[in-house]
Structure 1
Amino acid sequence: MAKEIVINAEKDQTRIAIVEKDELVEMYFEGPENERTLGDIFLGRVRRVLPNIQAAFVDIGQKSDAFLHFSDLSDNLPLINEFLSAEHPEVGTTKITASPHKRIRRHRPLHGRRRNGAGQAPKSEDRQKRSGSRPTAEERHRRRSAQRRPAHTANQKSQGDNKQKQAQPPVSLETLLKPGSSILVKIVKEPISNKGSRVSTDISLAGRFVVLVPLGDYVAVSRRIQSYKERRRLRALAKSLLPKGFGLIVRTVADGQNAKALDTDMRLLLEKWRRIEKKLQEKAQPPVLLHEDVSMVSSIIRDLFSEEFEQILIDNPRLHRNVKNYIHAVAPHVAPRVKLHKGPEHIFARAKIDKSVQEAFESRVNLASGGYLIIEHTEAMHVVDVNSGRAGKGLSQEENSLRVNLESARAIAKQLRLRDLGGIIVVDFIDLRDDRNRRKVFDELRREFRKDRAVTKVLPMSDFGLVQITRQRLRPSITTTSTSTGDAVTDNGKPAEVELAVPQDLPKAVVEKKKDPRRFETPDKVVNRMEKWLERFRAARKKGPLSLHVHPFTAAFLTRNVPSQLTKWSLKYRLRIHLVSNDDIDPMKFSFFDRAGNDITFPKRTAKTDGTPRSERKDGGPRAVKPRTPPRKQGRPAGRPQPKKAEN
């Protein structure tokens, strides 16, 4: 399969595209508004512990407190707390027990299990009571043997169990997580909308070939390595390199690598951990960032690049040099595949994915058969609606529905992967009467989702034609949008325009100005006017960076989402747009300036403007037309005296 990585690096943003068979399948971007925080390690402070929801909130210095679920607590959490409380924190001096997972007592429901004063009732007795039948001979023999057993034997056994429990006393979660205490956490899911990051106490450092686990004391090999002989070789190799006090996980890309490659990668990770220990030894007060993971480009190269990729195309010379040096260090034989893009043509246009990049931000996705998809985002889930459109000429209703649904299933799997949509997704397919056809659509979805690296679960189609999908979500989607909960809406769900009362004693000109609907339109309509201007600008084949001057309130509205509206415009129209806030501009108006500082919002104007429409300007309005003088009647010219009649 032909694969390549295309990287577009600009001043304020970097975009990474994964291409398979000349089709865009994945896309990532990184900039000042959405910096990558996945994998960062913090020394946080526990804010609240809520046993009723099995979670705690941790302050790590971000806008919102991080969410720590009890299921994300590692088994070696007592060892981590002991490591943090040491005077000189160092992994090599912390004693690791043989089975640390037995030291945590988790509160789990019994799920209906019957318990009495002596403990849980035997299953045979429960079965007997439910069925009402007599016990079998084997059960009667077991019961008589238990009755004949000496009492001191049972007491000795119970005493032995108590001694074993005293050797490893269980520790409750309330003891490990106390409000105000310090805790070492790692971000496993980036913040989305108003929700904070999700963190875990399972601390690890990922490299190219191995993953270093402090206080782990175990060796594991990736399950994707199928060969038993290779797995055994890598396990033995990792055990020989394992440092004291650490665990090691061998990654899939380590298949076929020698000891030198694994040892070099592990030593780099050890140096990173030593820097973390040094920060902890300085007694830094939480919250503090201990380790910042690599950038988005480095993580993509580290985790995805393999022998299957034919090339890495980069349009930035400096980034090209850094990536090539890294590839030359870890895999010298594939370093020539890193290429630099030169020329006036955009790098996405050269890779023939420019149209796919624009379609990734559209809510409508057209299908080859004539049907189309509508993808919408709500607070709780993503919703996909399948429409037949003009497809299916000459086919029966069932055949047409099946054909469109199968094509939609392939397109949905592709769009979810491309847009990185996570959480709950509900798909409304066209109704199918035959159960076999429903099964075909379900199988097609599962087959397409096997290509996705994210963990995805699909439920069969319901009687209403709905398919429920859950997809792993680690970062915000590239098309994530959030709506303000305080906006007024009309009956049809659209934002309502604000109407203000006009005093009766104002002059007529002022009243007409206040009644101008443009002055009280919603921010969404202002954004729509900006986008229409950009469409006309690109339709005229104009290029170059632009500066958008708006009121600070409008600027906040444009940058409130992740990604922001400016980011979407930059990706859609391939323009660099710089936002400038100006208090003197009306909140409902805007101005675009070119590189030279000329106002190009309206044609044939170079002076600065505040975005006032041409029809409202004194110098740009329609010229006053003088009323035409009615034509004179035919006859003697005016002003000449009429001749007198001759006298007889």
Structure 2
Amino acid sequence: MSEEILINITPMESRVALVENGVLQELYVERTQKRGIVGNIYKGKVVRVLPGMQAAFVDIGLDRAAFIHASEISTREGAAVEPISALVHEGQALVVQVTKDPIAKKGARLTTHLSIPSRYLVYMPNTSHVGISLKIEDEEERERLKQIVANAMSVEGIVTGGFILRTAAEGVRAEEILADVRYLSRLWEQIAGQMNTAPAPSVIYEDLVLALRTLRDLVSLRTEKIRIDSRESFVRASQFVSELMPELIDHLEHYPGERPVFDLYGVEDEIQKALERKVALKSGGYLILDPAEAMTTIDVNTGAFVGHRTLEETIFKTNLEAATAIARQLRLRNIGGIIIIDFIDMQDEEHRRQVLRTLEKQLERDHAKTNIIGITELGLVQMTRKRTRESLEQILCESCPSCQGRGKLKTPETVCYEIFREILREARAYQAEGYLVLANQKVVDRLLDEESGNVADLESFIGRPIRFQVEINYSQEQYDVVLL
């Protein structure tokens, strides 16, 4: 499978597209004025302890206080975690790392279990464990990597802290891993020094910008090209790669074309589609994605697909195609949290198993951690996907000011009846010569047409005239009743 990474840089924002076999699979957006803070380390101050929630709020210098649970402070696990009041107190300085960006009205999530990533390793200063990514399955390779890290720690005189070997370390030479160990050791010395001297709240360590994080975290053996459309960013990326991952230097390419690099690969069109509720399947079926605060639901429909054999075969084919499409949409839209999938009901147990297996197989390439819990008695697939950053929709969109994010508007008929009730309230409370209704064009049209008889009856009942005026800037639900 061929893979390319496209990096589009402007002064306002950076965007990264991961393209597999010519199809956009993942998109990352970082606005210059709203950079993500996952991975950043802060010296914060505890501002409130919540014993009932086993948690505390910590001021790290953001608009909203961040949240930390007792389990993210304690070195114990499960039921053995100490009470939060035994771990921290108000006013206490605390060194923390951000694990989740602030999302919607929720503050950032924190941990005191610090970790610093490099190309092949993650350094954890507070543990003595050496772990290996589960995606590296070969036992001989796992043992080789473990021995390399143990030798490197001995050579560098590292007596505290532990490492996790990332998937990218598979097959890598000992010298390259040793270089990573040295880099992380130096970086930790700098961070540790600042931890003692920095005021609270303040930032101690900031993660790399998006373009460089991409090179560190997303590039794999499948990556054939990394195209960057900014000369300045290309030079920075080349320096970064030369120092830390020289094997990638031939994969880097500056894209100088007049046509935007995202247009060249159809990425802009795919971004627009990723903001739509409905996703068309090639067979004629479709998905409906409904993100909500608690969870995201995905409904699978056959649509225009009628198949060529039996109904069960048609349903099975649609569900198989949907499983692949769903895995892509979760990655592309960066949907996290609880996800409920309503596949079309299948009678054949083997068909159900194959659809679930297809979904699992497609999710293996997801960089975010996913967990398929199983199928409920109602036939719904339950799964979770780790949420660390805002979804694509949350970054690019905001709630509709007309419907307040409901996705629905009151009908002109409903608004007309609300206006009638408002006029009745005003007539009972105040003496007036008449009433002027300011409303949206559709509402006024209905008042003067279908509701004209009701308007005449209301005028007769209150003994006052009612006039209407169109306000072009009013939404369908917006109106005012003015006393004359």
TM-score, length-normalised on structure 2? Answer: 0.79
**Deviates further, 193-202 or 461-470:** 461-470
Letter of the 1:317 partner, please give it: R
Q: 1:382 aligns with which of 292, 296, 303?
A: 296
**3-state secondary structure, aligned to 1:392:** coil
Distance verdict in 2 for CA 1:396–1:307, change over 3 Å: closer
* 1:487 CA displacement: 6.5
Q: 2:470 aligns with which of 513, 516, 521?
A: 516
* 1:38 CA displacement: 0.9
Q: Map of 1:147-166 to 2, 5 A cutoff?
A: none
Provide the rounded CA distance (Å) in 1 between the counterparts of 2:309 and 2:468: 58
Q: Is the 8 A contact 1:22 1:351 kept in 2?
A: yes
Q: 2:159 aligns with which of 244, 256, 260?
A: 244
Q: Map of 1:129-528 to 2, 5 A cutoff?
A: 173-242=84-153, 243-282=158-197, 284-480=198-394, 483=399, 493-494=408-409, 504=433, 515-521=469-475
Instruction: Give per-residue Cα distances to partners, 1:386-409, cap 9 Å, x unaligned.
Output: 222211155433332222222111
Provide the rounded CA distance (Å) in 2 between the counterparts of 1:224 and 1:507: 69
* 1:187 CA displacement: 0.7
- Counterpart of 2:23? 23
Provide the rounded CA distance (Å) in 2 between the counterparts of 1:57 and 1:486: 34
Distance verdict in 2 for CA 1:325–1:385, change over 3 Å: same
Q: CA RMSD in A?
A: 3.3
Distance verdict in 2 for CA 1:262–1:462, change over 3 Å: closer
**Higher strand share goes to which structure?**
2
**Structure 1 gaps, min length 5:** 76-103, 110-170, 526-648
Distance verdict in 2 for CA 1:188–1:513, change over 3 Å: farther
Instruction: Give per-residue Cα distances to partners, 1:501-551, cap 9 Å, x unaligned.
Output: 69746899999997214242169x9xxxxxxxxxxxxxxxxxxxxxxxxxx
Distance verdict in 2 for CA 1:512–1:302, change over 3 Å: farther
* Structure with bigger gyration radius: 1
Provide the rounded CA distance (Å) in 2 between the counterparts of 1:73 and 1:507: 62
- Counterpart of 2:10? 10
Instruction: Give per-residue Cα distances to partners, 1:24-53, cap 9 Å, x unaligned.
Output: 111101013541211001111223333333
Distance verdict in 2 for CA 1:518–1:512, change over 3 Å: farther
Instruction: Give per-residue Cα distances to partners, 1:263-310, cap 9 Å, x unaligned.
Output: 33233323333332333333x332211111111221111012133211
Provide the rounded CA distance (Å) in 1 between the counterparts of 2:303 and 2:140: 54
**3-state secondary structure, aligned to 1:520:** coil
**3-state secondary structure, aligned to 1:267:** helix
Distance verdict in 2 for CA 1:259–1:513, change over 3 Å: farther
Provide the rounded CA distance (Å) in 2 between the counterparts of 1:253 and 1:25: 20
Q: Is the 8 A contact 1:218 1:248 kept in 2?
A: yes
Letter of the 2:369 partner, please give it: V
Q: Is the 8 A contact 1:489 1:495 kept in 2?
A: no
Letter of the 1:299 partner, please give it: R
- Counterpart of 1:56? 56
Provide the rounded CA distance (Å) in 1 between the counterparts of 2:58 and 2:210: 25
Provide the rounded CA distance (Å) in 2 between the counterparts of 1:470 and 1:310: 31
**Structure 2 gaps, min length 5:** 427-431, 440-464, 479-484
* 1:469 CA displacement: 1.9
Letter of the 1:341 partner, please give it: Y
Aligned residues: 433
* 1:475 CA displacement: 0.8
**Deviates further, 341-350 or 183-192:** 341-350
Q: Is the 8 A contact 1:193 1:482 kept in 2?
A: no
User: What is the percentage of aligned positions where both structures have the same residue?
Assistant: 32
